Amino acid sequence: MSGSAAAGPDGRLRCPWALSTEDYVAYHDEEWGRPVHGDDALFERLSLEAFQSGLSWITILRRRPGFRAAFADFKIAAVATFTDDDRARLLADPGIIRNRAKVDATLANARLLAEWSPGELDELIWSHAPDRATRPVPRTLADVPAVTEESTALSKALKKRGLRFVGPTTAYALMQACGLVDDHLEDCTARRR
């Protein structure tokens, strides 16, 4: 792949990473880069991006139904009440990634976020969205960064508030997935115009 937008099976140009599986095509076309709001929805994305760290996104995407079932649809108030028995259940659940540090971070983050005011997570995350007018439109995958000043600032803000597993790369992946930035390539049909 050249890194430029490429034609999918339907002839539409897409970001080349989206063409390797049908799951990716659907995720790329219908979700990635679209604005996501709401504390629970953002908690889910933040948690899944943390679980993805060191793995391919397709692994997480294919297990997302299992994650949702295991983590009470990522409802912050529900996950915040999980007990040691729930933790043990999660660490034995083959439908998710059974990484102790990531499970513990998700539970700790939920407990912390349950103390925040409604909308506070949404406001904090979206306050780090860069001005679209100042961002160059990526032409190839080489033009898409892994970390930006904004993702570094978001990571620091989340860590300062006590959240875990929120490094700058994870923060940037969250920004991409939740539409804070539009990293669909210039010729991609999914790019917001």
- Exposed (0-12), middle (13-18) or buried (19+): which is 5, by Cβ within 10 Å? buried
Separation of alpha carbons 150 and 101, rounded Å: 26
* Catalytic residue of the set 17, 27, 31, 186: 27
Is 17 an active-site residue?
no
- Distances in whole angstroms, Cα of residue 12 to Cα of each of 45, 76, 147, 163: 27, 38, 28, 39
Residue 95, helix vs strand vs coil: coil
Is 57 an active-site residue?
yes
* Catalytic residue of the set 17, 31, 57, 116: 57
Is 116 an active-site residue?
no
Contact 116, 38 (CB under 8 A): no
* Catalytic residue of the set 49, 126, 150, 172: 49
Contact 62, 100 (CB under 8 A): no
What are the b/e assignments for 133-154, b being 16+ CB within 10 Å? eeeeebebbeebeeebebbbeb
Residues with active-site annotation: 27, 49, 57
